[in-house]
């Protein structure tokens, strides 16, 4: 799908790499711009797998599958000229530095679009491109109200952090959507543009159903949190059963009792009735009964159990990629399925500088210039990794 799309990925941490991984899954040529490794690496010899394992590209393995790494000093004059050459032939720039940092390097949105008017420049930040404030996902969790929503739902004395960096993942997804829209717009008028996505805005947008009544006059003392009920089965497993409506109640009733009992008028009474039924059955029995009636339910699993869920095996949601360091890496694959296109992991995550020479050659940089910038330390090329 995107085999002709070149992406320069300057991102770190989670949101940016998560976004560019989705572009790579669609076949984009994603070039990860990595820093020069700190400390000396003997580029004339070889390194061990253990040494290479310390040189993974920023952002982790899973979020960098299918990318290649160019390790370059963005402050060196010779490197700046190389980056400008790459930018002139690039479709998408993705960065998540503090707003203004790319300007100081000479690669801010205005400069990049002047160099390449067709460029899509995506800036991910904490508070938007017009703010100088730094942030992580945890910042948005706190200041966009997400921690409070969790506290109200769990009825705890204090707010608590989620086990997943929600704001980063939503921001990465929103940036991906924005880039696709900008690329489509470019197909119509030939012009690039800036895509500005922030952690705070994305976190708020994720909470739109919570915010709707609040924005329309709800008083804080009248706020009622919403949680799908959980019921304990006879074998101790927690079961999620959302009643939803009268038609679904009929399915649940038939499944758990063999009969259609009338639905209680109040929600708490209906949930209490379901709890009573569930408490007399094992989780496996409940699953069989609910499946037979087409009623939705969920058995609470640990992440370790979920990794072995037959659904994910059937949907091929776990990919295995050959890896220079680990031998083989298992990771979550793309969740987007098409009837004609293909979205999937297309290789392992790179080691810093693994593809520096290769990438520069593809952009028609003369071999003598490549050798020169590597020798002077402006670009780092990963040495050969010793393979047993």
What domains are there in the chain, each with its CATH number? 6-209+319-385 (3.40.50.10540), 238-299 (no CATH)
Q: Which residue of the set 91, 168, 323, 333 is catalytic?
A: 168
Q: What pLDDT band is residue 44 in, cutting at 50, 70 and 90?
A: low
Tokens of residue 331, six digits: 């990771």
Task: Please determine, for residue 40, whether its predicted confidence score (pLDDT) is greater than 60.
Answer: no
Q: Do residues 238 and 232 touch, judged by C-beta distance below 8 A?
A: yes
pLDDT of res. 41: 63
* 8 A C-beta contact, residue 63 and residue 14: yes
- Enter the tokens of residue 193: 């543009």
Whole-angstrom Cα distance, residue 274 to residue 80? Answer: 65
Say how many Å lie between the first and final Cα of the chain, rounded. Answer: 37
- Indicate if the pLDDT at residue 62 is higher than 70: yes
pLDDT digits (tens, 9 = 90+) for 177-203: 999 999 999 999 999 999 999 999 999
Least confident residue range of 58-62, 280-284, 294-298: 58-62
Measured distance CA(202)–CA(225) in Å, rounded: 21
Question: Is the pLDDT at 382 greater than 90, yes or no?
Answer: yes
Contact 131, 99 (CB under 8 A): yes
- Cα 370–Cα 374–Cα 375 angle in degrees, nearest 5: 115
Q: Which two tokens stand for residue 385?
A: 């990794």
Closest CA to 9 of 29, 25, 37: 29
Q: What are phi and psi of 266, to 5 degrees?
A: -100, 145
Q: What is the pLDDT of residues 163-175, one digit of tens each?
A: 999 999 999 999 9
Evaluate the CA torsion angle 79, 77, 363, 183 in order and state its sign: positive
Give per-residue pLDDT as tens, 217-234: 999 999 998 888 999 999
Closest C-alpha among 169, 222, 167 to residue 199: 167
**For 7-30, how does the pLDDT look when each residue is reduced to its tens digit (9 = 90+)?**
999 999 999 999 999 999 999 999
Single out the residue of 125, 67, 122, 58 nearest to residue 92, CA to CA: 122
- Under 8 Å CB-to-CB from 130, ≥6 apart: which residues? 99
What is the pLDDT confidence band of residue 326, given thresholds at 50, 70 and 90?
confident
- Mean pLDDT of the region 63-73: 97
pTM: 0.93
- Predicted local confidence at residue 324, as pLDDT: 85
User: Which carries the bigger pLDDT value, residue 297 or residue 38?
Assistant: 297
69: helix, strand or coil: strand
Residues pairing with 72 in the sheet: 379
In angstroms, the CA 154 to CA 146 distance is: 12
pLDDT at 388 over 70: no
- What integer best gives the mean pLDDT of the chain? 95
Is residue 103 flagged as an active site residue?
A: no
Could you report the per-residue pLDDT of 335-367, keeping only the tens digit for each?
A: 999 999 999 999 999 999 999 999 999 999 999
């Amino acid at each position: 799908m995107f085999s002709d799309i070149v992406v320069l990925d300057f991102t770190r941490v989670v949101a940016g790499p998560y976004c560019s991984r989705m572009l790579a899954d669609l076949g984009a040529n994603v070039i990860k711009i990595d820093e020069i490794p700190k400390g000396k690496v003997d580029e004339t010899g070889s390194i061990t797998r253990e040494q290479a394992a310390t040189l993974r590209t920023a952002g982790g393995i899973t979020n960098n599958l299918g990318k290649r790494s160019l390790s370059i000093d963005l402050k060196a004059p010779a490197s700046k000229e190389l980056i400008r050459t790459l930018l002139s032939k690039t479709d998408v720039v993705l960065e998540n530095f503090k707003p203004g940092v790319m300007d100081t390097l000479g690669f801010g949105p205005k400069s990049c679009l002047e160099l390449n008017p067709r460029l899509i420049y995506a800036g991910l930040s904490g508070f938007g491109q017009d703010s100088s404030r730094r942030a992580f996902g945890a910042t948005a969790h706190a200041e966009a109200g997400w921690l409070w929503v969790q506290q109200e739902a769990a009825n705890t004395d204090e707010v608590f952090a989620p086990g997943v960096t929600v704001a980063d993942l939503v921001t990465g997804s929103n940036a991906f959507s924005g880039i696709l829209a900008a690329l489509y717009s470019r197909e119509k008028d030939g012009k690039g543009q800036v895509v500005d996505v922030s952690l705070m805005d994305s976190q708020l947008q994720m909470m739109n159903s919570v915010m709707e009544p609040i924005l329309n006059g709800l008083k804080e003392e009248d706020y009622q949190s919403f949680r799908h009920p959980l019921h304990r089965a006879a074998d101790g497993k927690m079961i999620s059963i959302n009643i939803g409506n009268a038609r679904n109640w009929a399915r649940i009733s038939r499944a758990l009792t063999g009969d259609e009992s009338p639905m209680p008028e109040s929600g708490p009474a209906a949930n209490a009735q379901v709890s009573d039924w569930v408490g007399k059955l094992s989780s496996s029995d409940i699953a069989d009964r609910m499946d037979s009636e087409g009623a939705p339910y969920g058995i609470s699993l640990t992440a370790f159990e979920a990794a072995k869920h037959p659904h994910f095996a059937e949907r091929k949601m776990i990919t295995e990629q050959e890896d220079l360091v680990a031998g083989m890496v298992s990771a979550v694959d793309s969740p987007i399925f098409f009837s004609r296109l293909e979205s999937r992991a297309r290789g392992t995550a790179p080691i810093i500088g693994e593809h520096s020479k290769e990438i520069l050659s593809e952009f028609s940089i003369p071999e003598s210039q490549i050798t020169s910038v590597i020798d002077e330390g402006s670009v780092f090329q990963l040495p050969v990794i010793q393979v047993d």
